[in-house]
Amino acid sequence: MKKSYTTLFFVLSILAAGAQPAETPVQWSFTVKEAGEGQFDLLFTADIAPGWYLYSQHLGEDGPIPTTIGFYESGDYELLGATEEDGPKVEGMDDLFGMYITKYKKQAVFTQRIKAGEGLQKVAGYVEFMTCDEEKCLPPTEVEFTFSFKE
């Protein structure tokens, strides 16, 4: 009986050692910055691993999935203008997709200004994004976010 447990442990150890952790080349953080007069900037910061890219919100069709920021409906705030994006970007013809694109390396910051309503406690939603290196792309991923506000 002891031999069976030893064999089982050995097999499980090999399987665990061979298991590859999921690649997560983009790490997101979410912060709020007060802009005055009841307005706030919501900052969505993507830290991108070396060799990987995150795509702009503004891409043509038939290419990579653009970064999209979706907000869950709420009457507690109003979006002011479009979401802006900034960071070290690469623009031009992309060999992987055969089209002109804009993508970010190292870090991308997306900023959405809002006007807070009375008693705003949170703004929630999701970021959908796709990331690629020079050889492959990972499937589109959604990350949920919640910005908390104190009265």
- Domain annotation covers residue 15: no
Give the chain's domain count.
Answer: 1
pTM over 0.85: no
Please answer whether residues 52 and 106 qualify as being in contact, where contact means their C-beta atoms are separated by less than 8 angstroms. Answer: no
Alpha-carbon distance of 122 to 57, in angstroms, equals: 24
Structural domain range at position 62: 25-148
- Domain annotation covers residue 7: no
- Domain annotation covers residue 19: no
Point out the residues of the chain with pLDDT beneath 70: 1-22, 151
* Of residues 53, 65, 33, 67, the one with CA closest to residue 107: 53
Determine the pLDDT at residue 16.
Answer: 33
Determine the pLDDT at residue 79.
Answer: 97
- Domain annotation covers residue 10: no
- What CATH number should be reported for the domain holding residue 91? 2.60.40.1250
